[in-house]
């Protein structure tokens, strides 16, 4: 989706308006039930032009029973954002914490399938409404290993992160897809482990667009905070400060100002989010870690951020989400062509299909795919499937059938069994 860059407030006098002048957003994590508290919403609407749900879009919240989705709180936040010109960060599709009980008890391919289905269903529900998704949150270990954190998701296979990113891209091609983590404030073993993963994803065409640096900070800031953001940006991803809060004390305002200046100095740093609005809304309790006190007054830290935003120069120019090239190049003749890119694991797969219109364009299209024996389609998005085994036909849905010459539509499906060796054929009408 296109990010909202303006608010009703005058430029330079609020966090959101000042960030927007620099082509960036300034956001807050929102506890959705507080949207009915006017003291809270007054500050939110005046100062911020981006929101993220503090808890309500997490797996335990929106899929409390397997296959039973409840998006009511998340939808409420999205409506509030749309009504007030705010962009929305989505947090988070997969995380080792705040999983529903039914998922906590699963493992192996059953968990992998459930997780990918969760990614697909949630990203599809919010398709077109999310600026950036935290597709995977906190998958790396603390300490010096630079490796992955142990979790039920990690035990389904090291490729679970890329499987999640591919499924998210297929479900919402317009959202930027982020990896998000904490204790990554500076160049250290953990941030380097993540850096290596992002570099690997970029080299293999795994769709990743951004990295979130939570930045839950203490009383000092790593001297290489900006350099760390920059080394990720140099890999070709956006960077975002996603959960900023800072321990109270003499240095709080200085640290807030320094983080803001670091973001503005990195052309691919697209925005900053604080993890709450007022000190008393914060998960950090007596740390008084936010920009507004419990009475809603602006703190010194607020002024430091606003001054840094107003003093900053430059506007980021960041490309839209990019989908990796298909594994098989589409043929150039015929009314349309189709290519499939496959993401498989033991017992299942997600197929992302690109349909490219030929020189006459299309009014509609059909793609036939013959599945290997034993495979079956369990779930389809952005197309309508006929059949689930053998030769399955996928027809366009109403918004993606009409293509001009060379235009591309994408759809996807998830299956059980092996999807290896599928060759799609496309027919245009």
Comparing every residue's Cβ against ligand G3I, the nearest one is 283
Q: Tell me the residue ranges of DSSP E strands in 11-107.
A: 25-30, 50-53, 87-95
Cross-strand partners of 427: 366
Q: Which is nearer to ligand G3I, 216 or 299 (CB)?
A: 216
Q: Determine the Cα–Cα distance for residues 211 and 209; give it in Å rounded to an integer.
A: 7
List interacting residues with ligand G3I (CB under 6 A): 54-55, 97-98, 137, 182, 214, 243, 283
Distance of closest approach, residue 276 Cβ to ligand G3I, in angstroms: 7
Write down the least CB distance from residue 217 to ligand G3I, Å.
12
| Backbone φ and ψ of 105, nearest 5° | -90, 5
d(CA 83, CA 78): 9
92: preceding bond cis by omega (within 30 degrees): yes
Instruction: Give the nearer residue to ligand G3I in terms of CB position, either 49 or 137.
Output: 137
Say how many C-beta atoms besides its own lie within 10 A of residue 93's C-beta: 27
Catalytic option among 47, 162, 243, 410: 243
Q: How far is the CB of 309 from ligand G3I (least distance, A)?
A: 24
Nearer to ligand G3I, 79 or 98 (CB): 98
3-class secondary-structure state, position 154: helix
Residues 6+ apart with CB under 8 A from 15: 26, 47, 48, 291, 302, 305, 306, 309
* Helix residue ranges, H only, 48-148: 59-62, 72-83, 101-104, 108-125
Q: How far is the CB of 82 from ligand G3I (least distance, A)?
A: 23
Cβ proximity to ligand G3I, 69 vs 283, nearer residue: 283
Does 138 participate in catalysis according to the annotation?
yes
Catalytic residue among 56, 138, 162, 410: 138
Helix (H) or strand (E) holding 366: strand 365-370
Q: Measured from the CB of residue 17, what is the shortest distance to ligand G3I in angstroms?
A: 26
CB atoms within 10 A of CB 36: 9
Two structure tokens written together for 154 = 């990690």
Radius of gyration of the chain (CA): 22
Q: Which whole-number Å values give the CA distances from 307 to 75, 293, 310, 311, in the listed order?
A: 34, 18, 5, 6
47 is catalytic: no
Residue 337 · residue 355 · CB < 8 Å: yes
In angstroms, give the least distance from the CB of 39 to ligand G3I.
18
| Choice between 134 and 410, CB closer to ligand G3I | 134
Beta bridge partners of 94: 136
Distance between CA atoms of 315 and 63, rounded to whole angstroms?
Answer: 39
* Closest alpha carbon to 316 in 228, 223, 194, 233: 233
Nearer to ligand G3I, 137 or 156 (CB): 137
Q: Which two tokens stand for residue 281?
A: 């809304």
Q: Which is nearer to ligand G3I, 92 or 379 (CB)?
A: 92
Taking the complex as a whole, the smallest distance from the CB of residue 292 to ligand G3I amounts, in Å, to 16
- Backbone angle region of 229, left / alpha / beta, with phi > 0 → left and psi within -120 to 50 → alpha: alpha
List the catalytic residues: 138, 243
């Amino acid at each position: 989706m296109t990010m909202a860059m303006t608010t009703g407030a005058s430029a330079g006098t609020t966090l959101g308006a000042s960030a927007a002048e620099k082509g960036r957003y300034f956001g807050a994590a929102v506890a959705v039930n507080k949207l009915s508290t006017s003291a809270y919403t007054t500050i939110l609407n005046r100062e911020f032009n981006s929101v993220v749900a503090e808890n309500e879009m997490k797996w335990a919240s929106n899929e409390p029973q397997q296959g039973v989705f409840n998006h009511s709180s998340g939808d409420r936040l999205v409506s509030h954002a749309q009504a007030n010109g705010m962009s929305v960060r989505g947090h988070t599709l997969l995380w080792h914490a705040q999983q529903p009980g039914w998922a906590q008890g699963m493992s192996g391919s059953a968990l992998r399938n459930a997780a990918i289905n969760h990614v697909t269903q949630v990203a599809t529900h919010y398709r077109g409404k999310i600026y950036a998704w935290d597709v995977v949150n906190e998958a790396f270990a603390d300490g010096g290993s630079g490796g992955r954190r142990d979790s039920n998701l990690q035990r389904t296979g090291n490729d679970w992160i890329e499987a999640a990113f591919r499924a998210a891209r297929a479900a919402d091609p317009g959202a930027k897809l982020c990896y998000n983590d904490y204790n990554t404030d500076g160049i250290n073993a953990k941030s380097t482990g993540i850096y290596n993963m992002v570099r690997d994803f970029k080299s293999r065409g795994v769709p990743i667009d951004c990295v979130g640096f939570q930045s839950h900070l203490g009383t000092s800031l790593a001297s290489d905070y900006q350099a760390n953001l920059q080394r990720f940006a140099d890999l070709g991803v956006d960077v975002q400060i996603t959960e900023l809060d800072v321990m109270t004390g003499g240095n709080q305002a200085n640290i807030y100002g320094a983080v803001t200046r670091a973001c503005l100095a990195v052309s691919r740093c697209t925005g900053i989010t604080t993890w709450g609005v007022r000190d008393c809304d914060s998960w950090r309790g007596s740390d008084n870690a936010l920009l507004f006190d419990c009475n809603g007054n602006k703190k010194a830290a607020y002024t430091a951020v606003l001054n840094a935003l107003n003093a900053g120069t430059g506007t980021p120019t960041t490309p839209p989400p990019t989908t990796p090239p298909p594994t098989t190049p589409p043929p150039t003749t015929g009314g349309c062509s189709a290519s499939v890119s496959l993401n498989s694991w033991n017992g299942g797969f997600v197929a992302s299909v690109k349909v490219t219109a030929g020189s006459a364009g299309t009014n509609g299209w059909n793609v036939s795919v013959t599945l290997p024996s034993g495979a079956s389609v369990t779930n389809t998005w952005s197309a309508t499937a006929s059949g689930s085994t053998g030769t399955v036909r996928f027809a366009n849905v109403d918004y993606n059938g009409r293509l001009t010459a060379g235009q591309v539509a994408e759809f996807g499906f998830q299956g059980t069994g092996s999807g290896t060796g599928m060759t799609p054929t496309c027919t245009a009408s």
